Amino acid sequence: MATAAKRTKTIIARRQDLIKGTIKSIATIGYHNSTVQTICEAAGLSRGLIGHYFKGKDDLLLEAFRHQTAEADEDTRQAIRAVGTDPVQRLLAATSVTFMRSATSREHALVWLAFCGVVPWNDSMGELHAKLYRRYRSWIQRMMEQAAAERGIEIDAKRAALTYAQMIDGFWMGWIMDNEAYSLDEATEIVSDWVLNLFGEKPTPKRKAPAFKAATDSVQGRIAKAAAEISQDRRTGEQADTASSTTSTTQRTKPRRKSARA
């Protein structure tokens, strides 16, 4: 049982290594230039390992996209939980998380752009992207409907959700293309102010502060946790190497027993 558990842990670790290698390769040389070789080099693993853990390159690329999406979803969930049930604060938190993720990792922003760029020509990627994006817009629309109802105002929630989603996409894509045109802090301010104005609220720093703090805690908390896990994995590996080296040395220096005849 212990051996099976260890094997399962190794499989999970190797899959994660390859997914991270894929993300690093795409961020460095692009989606179409990334090959099995560049992915494995970025992951620090042998080229033949992809076939052991994934059906092939395309399957690995799809899993890397899922990984990016799941990570973004978790960052957002953490932030919106922290700000409570106010739908406007939840929208502000989601806004801050989106731009903060790009600010803390341009690599991830580049990879997300690369994935979106292949959607029209990749059926599996297109289906997954459509499913996730519709779910995202649906959530935005529900938040806007709730916010409007609580404030006794009428808005076209569907159109407002589309406008919000396209502003988010437009700003982060524009920043990737030209990060000198504006900062992601400015993008956050513009979208957040638009949300508050939509519901007749004054966009003051005090009103936006809880969402910004929640986003910071969520994103930075994940980064710190990931760094700690990497550090622990390295220590575990070093300890394993040391133990293996000690065993090998002991076996070499251990004196041979004399035979009974001698």
- We report the CATH number of the domain holding residue 10 as 1.10.10.60
Answering whether pTM is above 0.75, one says yes
Same domain assignment for residues 80 and 188 = yes
CA 110 to chain centre: 12
**240 falls within a domain:** no
Q: Tell me the DSSP string of 23-67.
A: HHHHHHH-TTT--HHHHHHHHTS-GGGHHHHSSSHHHHHHHHHHH
**170 falls within a domain:** yes
Residue 12 is predicted with a pLDDT of 82
Residue type, 118: V
Residue 163 is predicted with a pLDDT of 97
Mean pLDDT for back-to-back runs of 10 residues, the chain (262 residues): 66 87 90 89 85 84 88 92 96 94 82 87 89 94 97 96 96 91 95 97 94 90 67 49 48 50 42
Same domain assignment for residues 84 and 105 = yes
Same domain assignment for residues 116 and 171 = yes
Same domain assignment for residues 71 and 136 = yes
**236 falls within a domain:** no
Domain range spanning residue 15?
A: 1-54
Same domain assignment for residues 48 and 170 = no
Residue 237 is predicted with a pLDDT of 45
**Rg, C-alpha atoms of the chain:** 24
Same domain assignment for residues 69 and 113 = yes
CA 259 to chain centre: 63
Residue 143 is predicted with a pLDDT of 97
Total number of domains constituting the chain:
2
Residue 210 is predicted with a pLDDT of 92
Same domain assignment for residues 135 and 22 = no
Using an 8 Å Cβ cutoff, are 165 and 140 in contact? Answer: yes
